[in-house]
Amino acid sequence: MKLHDRYVARSVTVVASLALVLCTLMLLSVDLFSNLDGYLTNEVKPFTILTLTLLYTPQAVLFALGPSLLFSATYFLSQLQANNEYICLLGSGLSYRRIITPILVLGILFSLLEFGFGEYVFIPAERTREVKQDELFGLRSTYDNRNITLRDPDGNYVVHAKQYSDEQNRLAQVLLVLLDDEGAMKARVDAAWAFWEEEKETWRMERVRFQQIDRAGLVVDSREVGELQLDEFTLAPSYFRNLSNDITTMELATAVDYLRRMQVLDPSRYPELATDFTKRLLEHLNPLILLFIACTISYRYKKNVLLFSIITSLSIAVIYFVVQMVTIIMAKQGVIAPIWGMAIPMIVIVCIALAERAVLR
């Protein structure tokens, strides 16, 4: 049994490693040539180009790992069928379930390795790459945002800003509605600008019009002031940033806390953020899912094993990732729950593989 397990694990791992190297080099070449015009225009030094390309390597590895394992398992099982090794293994008393068990164990191990690699290698490398690209190309901050509406977690106010500038920590055209204990409006503050005071951890509003409501006398007191600071207006600038992409590169604990806060502060942005975060966690199951599919489908071809293995693995990967793209869009729009955006493609592709095996049996 141990000999069989070593044989299967070694055969799949060796082919997967070779495919991973080739796919990674191909993706690095695509990244290099897609950015080559920008490098030449900005006269970027060759060493810097090499550094940026190498920093893309972790992301390329994550993209290529799942399809490489899928191709490796497909090729190995096809070879078993074509060379009649499958019959020998069955004749020795091994069931098909026992034959594919090492492949599924590899799927679990590679999924765990991919999760650790993504959290501790890919995310730091991606942050460094983004900083270097911003410095080279003079890009504007990707954190700038428009038309933000947030609600205080304690229910004390609702704030709307026309624009947020991350470089200056500034809000433009601010509307702040103060609420009483019953949730009714007690005051309204309109400000042309609001600047974040780091030491005081509050917003300093300029060119302010303050309107306070006296509900008992049905009177509105309105006055204009040059500057105003409210102790309760303490939402940090990070909650006004456009972080739809950066939640995938935050530290895990920070991302969980940010997502929990945004569910209360800005429910309209929550589905997109929750979908990106769910995808970040569950996409590491791709190696296990794709290897399970490779073990489920039926292999009937005796000739051109390499060609048919490539066609089979590409067909499965295309179906899986196209369905995932559609469901992710639906999840970001709030049509389905974020977790279903990742679960539905897995269920669909597994059902297709099981149906194909049942038909050809």
Reported as a single tens digit per residue, the pLDDT across 117-145 is 988 898 888 888 877 777 676 554 557 77
Structure tokens at 129: 């790459």
pLDDT of amino acid 356 = 67
The answer to whether residues 156 and 221 belong to one domain is yes
CA-to-CA separations, 22 to 27, 28, 68, in angstroms, rounded: 9, 10, 9
pLDDT, mean over the chain: 82
SS3 assignment, position 193: strand
Domain presence at residue 259: no
Q: Is the pLDDT of residue 154 over 80?
A: no
Domain containing 9 equals 2-138+279-360
The answer to whether residues 313 and 349 belong to one domain is yes
The answer to whether residues 48 and 122 belong to one domain is yes
Q: Is the pLDDT of residue 149 over 60?
A: yes
Can you tell me the distance from the alpha carbon of 265 to that of 150, in angstroms, rounded to the nearest whole number? 5
Number of domains present in the structure of the chain:
2
Which range is most confident: 3-12, 64-73, 300-309?
64-73
Reported as a single tens digit per residue, the pLDDT across 236-289 is 887 787 765 577 777 787 778 778 877 777 777 788 888 888 888 888 888 988
Domain presence at residue 352: yes
Burial of 125 (0-12, 13-18, 19+ CB in 10 A): middle
Domain presence at residue 134: yes
Domain presence at residue 75: yes
CA-to-CA separations, 246 to 18, 22, 61, 280, 317, in angstroms, rounded: 32, 29, 20, 11, 26
Domain boundary among 220, 239, 258: 239
Q: What percent of the chain has pLDDT over 90?
A: 15
The answer to whether residues 154 and 132 belong to one domain is no
Whether this prediction's pTM lies above 0.85 is answered by no
Higher pLDDT, 91 or 25: 25
Domain presence at residue 253: no
Q: Is the pLDDT of residue 25 over 90?
A: yes
pLDDT of amino acid 21 = 94
Sheet holding 202-214, edge to edge: 145-151, 157-165, 170-179, 185-197, 202-214, 219-229
* Maximum C-alpha span of the chain: 94
Can you tell me the distance from the alpha carbon of 7 to that of 15, in angstroms, rounded to the nearest whole number? 12
Can you tell me the distance from the alpha carbon of 44 to that of 56, in angstroms, rounded to the nearest whole number? 17
Domain boundary among 187, 211, 239: 239
The answer to whether residues 222 and 320 belong to one domain is no
Q: Is the pLDDT of residue 333 over 80?
A: yes
